[in-house]
Amino acid sequence: MLKRLDKIRFRGQRTDVFLDLGDSPNTSDTECSEEILMKPRPSLEVKDTEELQDPAGPGTLPMAAAIQDYQRTETDRLNEVKSHLEIALLEKYFLQEELRKLREETNIDTLKQELEKERSKRLDLEQKLNLEVLKMR
């Protein structure tokens, strides 16, 4: 990435190769250290470069390459985020299914219904006892 930025910055071919940020001139504060280990681009053959020459000027080829690389990296990032979201969605569905199975196994719904029945019976008995106690007085 740094090489590409240097090509854009200097608008010409650079013969020296910078391996780390300390050797690279004009580095900005926003450049990331993760970009240091980028793979070097394969050199183009002479006839390939002649075919790619743009009549607009010598700087347009590196600029077009930089834009293409930027778009490719953006696509890669978006694909990575998409894959993470797909994985998270699959995990969500898996966990929902596991929760449903656990609820079925433990019969939570039936236990809740039985609990409500027992509570209503208890309340009815308490009311009857209270009425009987009041009648006896």
- Residue pLDDT, tens place only, 73-123: 888 999 999 999 999 999 999 999 999 998 888 887 888 899 999 999 999
Which tokens belong to 101?
A: 């199975």
Take residue 73 and report the two structure tokens written for it.
Answer: 């990296």
Cα separation, 104 vs 95, whole angstroms = 14
**Over 50: is that where the pLDDT of 37 sits?**
no
Q: Of all residues in the chain, what percent are helix, strand and coil, respectively (each to 5)?
A: 70, 0, 30
Q: Which two tokens stand for residue 38?
A: 């980028």
Please tell me what DSSP assigns to residue 32: -
Distance from C-alpha of 62 to C-alpha of 89, rounded to nearest angstrom: 40
**pLDDT above 60: residue 3:** yes
State how far the Cα of 20 lies from the Cα of 62, in Å rounded to an integer: 21
CA dihedral 70, 71, 76, 82 (to 10 degrees): 130
| Tokens matching residue 137 | 């007085």
Structure tokens at 37: 């280990």
3-state DSSP assignment of residue 21: coil
Is the full-model pTM beyond 0.75? no
Contact status, residue 40 vs residue 54, Cβ threshold 8 Å:
no
